[in-house]
Structures are given as C-alpha cells and as structure tokens.
Structure 1
C-alpha cells in the first residue's frame, strides 16, 4: 500500500526510446512496451487492486450480514425470500456474473464493485443466517427476549458478535477471490481503463511481449499470486483457534 512512495517514476509517463528494457538500477523491474516503469505501475496498481477488493468484500459482508440476520429473525416468509434470492445468485458462476455486469455497464470501478459484491454476498448471508439461528436458541438470548429487549438489541448485542467471529475467516477468503475477479476483469479490459495502472490490465498489455519481457510480465502475476496466497493464509490462521475449540468441545 505504501509502494508508490518507493518509486520516483510516474506510472503513466511514456518513454518510447527505452521501451521493453530489462531490469536496471533506474528501473528495477524494467519498462513496458511504451517505456513506462513497471515497478512504478506495479506499486501504484497495488493500492487500486487491493483497495477495490477490500471495498467489495466490505460491502458484500455488510449486505450479507444484514440479510442473514434478517432471515434468521424475521420469520418464515422473509427467510424463504432472502434464501431463495441467495440461491439464485449462487446459481450463476461468480466470475461470469461479474463479467456480465461489468460488460453490460461498460466497465470501470462502479460496475466492477457491483458485479463482485453480487457474487460474494450470498455466502455471507447463508453463514450469518446459520450462526444467528443457533445463537437465537441460546438460553441467555431467550432470557433477553423474555425480558422484553427489542429485536435490534438482541441481534446487535447478543447475536452479531458471534456472527462476526465466524465470518471474518470467510471475508479473508473472499478477499482473495475479489483480487482474482478484479484482475480477470482488468485483463479483459472491463476494469480500470488505461493508462491507469492495474495488475490485470498490466498482464493483458504485456502478454504480446512475453518473450522479450518475461520479467515485466511475471511481476504483476507474482503480485496477484502473493496477495491471494496472503489472504488465504490469513483466513486459515484466523480459523485455527475456532477449529481447535470445536475439536475440544
């Protein structure tokens, strides 16, 4: 996220006289087909790729938790309506749905956010509903209900903390999926538009020059790989304490 501070070069500045140069002191990862510094573009693209992924996961988590808690508490008909909507969204392949929405709306940040959010929220809603239904049957929650506490208090103070503990792991895994979706849309030209640096778009731009610039081509691929791997390992690390407690029980 602080990568732009490490590179003195403008990520959009072109220098055709130094196109496809290999790594050097001036350009640690070389230059692309129009002479732009690859390290500068990689560093500036990190903030956009990871920032958009975090925004997508955050929005999907909020929507999913809200609908999941509503389905668990509001009653049979609301539960059926929300869960059938979630099933409908899950029937579409996630990447295909994001691709269709981005393509229909012309690409860019907003369509990308909408498409990826629609692919992620059903997972959070289903998990939140399952955990909330279990928590609502706990004795202390039943006691609070009989004491006359409103539904908002029951859900926020007694149910939501347990839901958040479980969905944090799912959110980290969703972050990796969001990074992959953003990169895929950028590769297809439906993400951030040139000359804005973005990892998927960088791969698409350098693909015709893979034989002349293998290092430049590998840089955004490796950045995506490390980011997704980091998100996955973070999710596994967060889930281990809970898994240990379940085994002990």
Structure 2
C-alpha cells in the first residue's frame, strides 16, 4: 500500500514538473510540405519537439485556422552541448497571406510568406523538467487573417540542432493526459539527451540488481546461521 501511494506521489511531482496540459508532439520523420506535422487545434496548447538534421532541412507544421481566431507561436532553443549558436528561422506560410518575404526555398504558386524574425536579446530560463536552459528565440501573437490552411516552417541555413515549437495557449487537460505523464516524461528526456537517459536507466538497473543480490545473499546467510544454531540445540 505504501509503495502504491509512493508511486502516486511520484507521478504528481512529475506532473508539476512538465507542462502536461500541452499536446506533446514529437517529429518522427522529416516533416515536409507534402507530409507535415498536423495540428488539430492551433488554439489549444501544443508543443512540437523537432530537429533540423542538415542545413537544407525544413520542418513544416500544418494547421487550419478561421478568421479572427487568436494565433500564438513561440520558438525555444534548448541550450545543449554541441548545439551552441543554433538559431533557426520560422516563417508563417499560407495562400491567405499577402506578404511575400524572401525565404531560401520555393513555395507552390499562390502562397505568401511571413518571416518571424528572431530577436538579438534572447531571454533565458531554466526548465527543471528537461534539466536544461532554453533560449526564447522568437514569438508571434495575433489573429488569423482569413479562413484557410496555414503552415509554420522551421529552418536554418548554417547549422543543425533541436528546437521546441509552442503553438497555441489554451490549456486543456483530461484524465488520459494524466495517465500519459510518466511516458511523456521519459520521452522528452530521451529527446533532449538520449545517452544521458540510457546511462541513468542502466545505473538504476545495476543498482536494483545489486540490491536484490545483497538481499538474497543476506537471506541465505541468515538462513544458514539459523540452521547452524538449530543443529547446535539439537
């Protein structure tokens, strides 16, 4: 019973460490314009974990929007070893966007592009859940201009690295989300530092096996002593 309550308390602690009210999405394959990451509701809080694998890699996130709906997007860059200086650009793309900013890749005919420029004074904050610092690269808040399909493209011409894209601000939480927390906890940890997570799990397994071995050894010694004492009495 105590172990059960201990597990529940651990899950609650993890819940307060992670934004479990967000829809967590992990890029499984290269998200192209023809096969993008699709967001069902851009107004709900969504977090996309992605990676620019090469200089000409472009990740596309797609969502449908209605006129006058609130729109929010924010790009965060984890301060990880080996990825310093990584500063991707993001651009909002749609047939409903009149503006045509210069971008280093071609779009289908009729699409406009709005580049969301990064700020030079990037603010930092520490995320206790991932155990890393973030740079808040750029963000945009506004209203959807017209009904239609919209794309957010993430790219970088000079380097590659991992990023976290937040889309939407409306909090949403259900019991099923609560049950997913342990799974998401380890998945996010693996995304940020797979080697570190594997090492920690390996150490936990080794420690567990060692403790079990010590307990079994202790039990066998106690059992042997009891038998010896019993024989002496007899």
TM-score by length of 1: 0.23
Higher relative contact order (CA 8 A, sep 6+): 2
Structure with max Cα Rg: 2
Which one has a larger percent helix, Structure 1 or Structure 2? 1
TM-score by length of 2: 0.25
Which one has a larger percent strand, Structure 1 or Structure 2? 2
